[in-house]
Structures are given as structure tokens and as C-alpha cells.
Amino acid sequence: MSKLFSPVTLRGLTLRNRAVVAPMCQYSAQDGFANDWHFVHLGRFGIGGFGLVLLEATGILPEGRISYADLGLWKDEHIAPLARIVDFLHSQGTAVGIQLAHAGRKASTPVSWIKPEQLTEEQRRAVGYEHWVPVAPSAESNDPANPDFQVPAALDAEGIRRVIDGFVAAAKRAERAGFDTVEIHAAHGYLLNQFLSPLANHRTDQYGGSRENRMRLVLEVTEAVRAVWPADKPLIVRLSVSDNNADGWQVEDSVALARELKALGVDAIDCSSGGFAQGRIKSAPAYQVPFAKAVKQGADIPTMAVGLLGDPEEAEAFIENGDTDFIALARGALDDPNWALHANVALGGDFTPWPVQTRRVSDYHRVMSESSRAQAAQ
């Protein structure tokens, strides 16, 4: 059997395979509430055979959203519509996680396909438009050349405590919604990543300066979340393993942090990169796998690779060679919500994992295969 499509266990959670749907922001919520779009968007990945589906960056506080249209988990009323999604994915044999996030200085940015200045007041109400001043480790814009980003307010001690408490409260709500895992978002230039990176953190208190100080908030959040998250459920942290800038956060910093996170009870590191205007990286097939490999080997912790990993044979090789433990798809899953089912067949599996309502697709594959062989023989 393919290693990619073999079951794997983290704590008390057994996944049917190592194929993961990475978090993908949909910018389709109002006041943080999940709706039918989220249900259908996410439900198809359960039907499509993935082992784990991670919900998009979900604001732990209203001011922590990337935009006004992000999912939220800062109040109890958000639980029920999320639980509906969790229940359906569970019914399809898929485990479900949620990415808990605070955007920091990248918050209160517009939805890319809606220009707020072109909306009437009635249209703004219809889409749930909101605008607020973001917060950050330092009062510096993410990109002064980009008007979408504001100059944030620097967090004081009370504000930092609010962030930690927000992550804890959201984790408790995630448990009530039935999620199997939570992922703490410390990547992509958002708040926790801002504290980690010398590109964004210019504080002079115990949260700034040395690497130890810059890691402090991430470790405090992780310790607090692990304390309330059930002991039999895994905890994941997403890191930008490198800022892609010589003056920023480096791979060796991520390895050191991952060791600390493991000691606090983190079970896997979701390895991405970048997120700051000062560090761009060009996408290419499997371009972030080296980050997953470096953290896995350096910190002796399971890792998740992400970034244009849609080739099944290549994905299998990364697992088989020990470069990573999980293969996560975002754009590839959008392109083919049945990627896991198709990849399993491509790697020698059969059609058993397909939902019973769809197994007649095997006839389609058989007929098309016979047709291709017949054409090749002519």
C-alpha cells in the first residue's frame, strides 16, 4: 500500500491517510459566521477522500481578522455553523482541524474582489463591511507602499494578554464544535509571525530583541492552548520557516522554535514560508518541501509540506524518503477536490475509498482506459 494513503496516528487521532487540505481563506463570512459556501466548499474535500481538512484562518478576536469577511471563533454563536461542517466531514471519514489566527498589522484589509470605496452604504451593509485599526508588535505598516495596509497600534501588556486569552477561548470553542485538531497560525506575516521576525518586531521589552524574546508570545500562546486542548487531540503550529530575507527569520530559527514547541506538546509543524513585503519567493512545484525536511530532521518532529504538491508520485516519494510526514494541498485541492481519490488510484489503490454514491466512476475510468489502449494500438 502507498505510504501516502496509509493511516497515521497523532495522539488519539488516526487519519485515514496523509493527504491534507491546507487552510484557504474564502473571504465569504459575515461577522465571522460560517455559511453554506463554507459548508459546500469544505464538504467536497471529505467526499474527495482527504485524511484531514483544515479550515481557513479563523479570527480569534474580531480585530484579528485579515478582512471583515473572515471566519471567526470569538463568540459562542460561531460554534453551531462550524459544528455542522465538522459533523458532515466526520460522516465522510475525514478528520477536521481549524486554523486559529490573528492577522496583526495585516488585519482590516479589503477583500480583493470588492473595492470598498466603490460600494454604497447599503452594499457595505450587505457584505458586512467593517474597518478598524489593527494591532502589531510595533507601530509599523506591513508595506508602506501599499495603501491596503495601515500603520497599526503597538500592543501593550494588556493587549498581549487579550491575544493569549483569545487563542485560549477560541480553542475551547473549537473543542465544543467537535474539531479533531487546531492549528496555531504563526506564519505568513500575521501577528505571531510578526513577533518572531526581526523584520516586524522592533520592541525593546521582554517580547522583542533577542530570538528568545521574540519567540516568547508564540510559546506563551502554545502553552496556554495546549493546557485547554484535550490531551488526546493533536496540536499543530504553522510556521513560515524562512522570511526569505537575510535580515529576517531563518530556517535555523524555525528549527530552534520547533524544538521548544515540541517540548510544549505540539505534535506537528505545518511548514510554509514568507509573508512579509521584504521577502518574496517565487512559487514552483514542491518549492517548500526543503523547509519541511529541515524542521523534521532538525527538531525531530512530524512536519507537513505545502506548496504545489499535486503530483502523486512525487508526493509519495517525499513521504517515502522521509522529507515530510503529510502532504497538504490548497490550490491543487481547489482544482481537483477529488485529488486524494485520484492520487490513491494512481499509486495503485482501488476505488474502495470512493463514497458509495460515486463508485460507478470506476466504470468511467475502465472505459476511458480501454479506449486509450485501443487508440494506442492502432
Interatomic CA distance for residues 59 and 72, integer angstroms: 4
93 within 8 A of 46, measured Cβ to Cβ: yes
Query: 234: which residues sit within 8 A by CB, 6+ positions away?
Result: 10, 11, 13, 180, 181, 267, 268
Cell numbers of 194, please?
510578526
Cell numbers of 64, please?
484579528
Q: Which of 68, 190, 207, 287 is catalytic?
A: 190
Collapsing DSSP to helix, strand or coil, 97 comes out as strand
355 within 8 A of 47, measured Cβ to Cβ: yes
Query: 336: which residues sit within 8 A by CB, 6+ positions away?
Result: 48, 310, 342
From residue 96, how far is each of 15, 86, 88, 180, 183 by CA, in Å?
Answer: 10, 6, 10, 5, 11
Query: 125: which residues sit within 8 A by CB, 6+ positions away?
Result: none
251: left (phi over 0), alpha (psi -120 to 50) or beta: alpha
Is 190 designated active site?
Answer: yes
Interatomic CA distance for residues 329 and 345, integer angstroms: 17
Torsions phi, psi of 151, nearest 5?
A: -80, 120
Interatomic CA distance for residues 110 and 115, integer angstroms: 7
The strand pairing partners of 57, in sequence order, are 99
Supply the residues annotated as catalytic.
190
